[in-house]
A and B are shown apart, each in its own frame.
Chain A
Amino acid sequence: MFDIAKYYEAKTLEDALSYLKANPDVRVIAGGTDVLLRIREGKISNAHLMGISFIFALKTITEDEQGNLHIGPMMTFTAIEENEIILKHIPILAEAVGAIGGPQIRNVATIGGNVCNGATSADSASSLFCLNARLKIQTADSSRLVPISEFYVGPGKVILQPGELVTDIIIEKKDYDGYTGTYKKFAQRSAMDIATIGCAVILKHDGKTISDIRIGLGVAAPTPIRCTDAENIGRGMTISPENIDAMAKATITNMRARDSWRGSKTFREHLVYELTKRAVKKLVGLPEEE
């Protein structure tokens, strides 16, 4: 039995927002694979929860007239992995969410939950950083758009205020059109494990030059980050193994990795260098390993 004192099942988005307004102390539960764990571990007790998994409006993926993508936060990882719009435009996200947990977890866990949980290790986050995703945050009375780079404020902490709910994840056409991307995850096991380092790279190239590149990292700092220093080196760079190596080395300046039982700071820095290098080589068609 979970220590849940009160549970409210929101039926519609309006219903959810008005319940949040009336009950600022309520905790939103999405797929539950993090929140229920924390209740099981005793980190949350006497919980007051609001479920949002019955709200259809949060469970769609659409492409609007401008070609911008809208990902409903209650889309499960399995649904994202198999979604035609995602596979057509941003397959990197399918690749990233496919690296999470195992099938039974991916069948219930959601992208909105992954992001709002605030973990630096969230496998979806580094790709969303690369894709310059923006989050639509709504209350019963207002709505704002926040770039994902401003959404995380610390380990397990995001900017959501009481009464607020993430209702849409938006990726603009200019941020994915013409780019190829890949997600590299290093973990102790190939399934059912939390990343020691997650590395997402998207770039544009013509076979000779990289015209644009974005690098997103998980577990390289207290929050997911972008490697802007390495990106600046990579933008306009002539493609060669030596240049890619030099750019990958520059990832270290944006990192604030820590020592933990999963891996030391030094090991994580080496992983980021190695994974960034391999990701870029894969994307430009060079052999990944020397």
Chain B
Amino acid sequence: MEQTISFTINDEQRTMVIHPGQSLLELIREDLGLTGAKQGCGVGECGACAVLVNGQAVDSCLYLAAWADGKTVVTVEGLSQYGELTNMQKAFVEGGAVQCGFCTPGIIMTATEMEARDRNYTEADIKRALSGHLCRCTGYTKIVEATKKGLENVGKCSCDHE
């Protein structure tokens, strides 16, 4: 049993035939060849598969491909424009917030969602917002610092400085 969905992926309009059992992650990685989002735990614990759906970060391993119909999906591949990294991506690169890199594409998507929101973040807010991501290199300090820097650059951080 197949069905057809139409959605926008990284600014490109696509119509695709999907299987009802397909996750959005499988659609993105296997059918579209966008391998930035990773399958880590497969049960919504680690956040390595996070992508933006209508601007909100979701774990694409626990999200049916069918639900993307009519929606706008952004993966880490869709962030940079003309080869130029985004503010948040630069903050991660410059802050040394990437170790093995497996968790990075997911975390960048959540940080990008934060950056787009109309609000200010304290350090506690940043930690809470990143709580759905695991980094098994345990590089959390630099990840939080980089997110803070990225938010500061757009005037959305109200963290204290030591």
Question: A residues bordering B, Cβ < 8 Å?
Answer: 1-7, 9, 29, 32-33, 36-37, 40, 49, 51, 53-54, 78, 101-105, 107-108, 190-192
Contact = CB atoms under 8 A, between A and B. Distances in A.
Nearest to B131: A191
B115 interface: no
Interface in B49-102: 50, 53, 56-59, 62-64, 66-67, 69
A36 B131 contact: no
B138 interface: no
| Range, interface on chain B | 20 to 34
Interface string B106-137: 00001000000000000000001101110000
B22 A33 contact: no
10 contacts: A1-B19, A2-B21, A7-B3, A9-B66, A9-B69, A101-B132, A102-B133, A104-B58, A107-B58, A191-B128
B58 A108 contact: yes
A5 B47 contact: no
Nearest to B1: A6
A4 B47 CA distance: 23
Please list the 5 inter-chain residue pairs (A to B) with the smallest Cβ-Cβ separation, ordered nearest first. Answer: A102-B132, A7-B20, A191-B131, A4-B21, A2-B21
Contacts, number: 84
Interface stretch (B8-16, B38-46, B140-148, B153-161): B38-46
A37 B20 CA distance: 15
B104 interface: no
A33 B67 CA distance: 13
Contacts of A103: 57, 110, 128-129, 131-132
Interface string B15-31: 00001111100100000
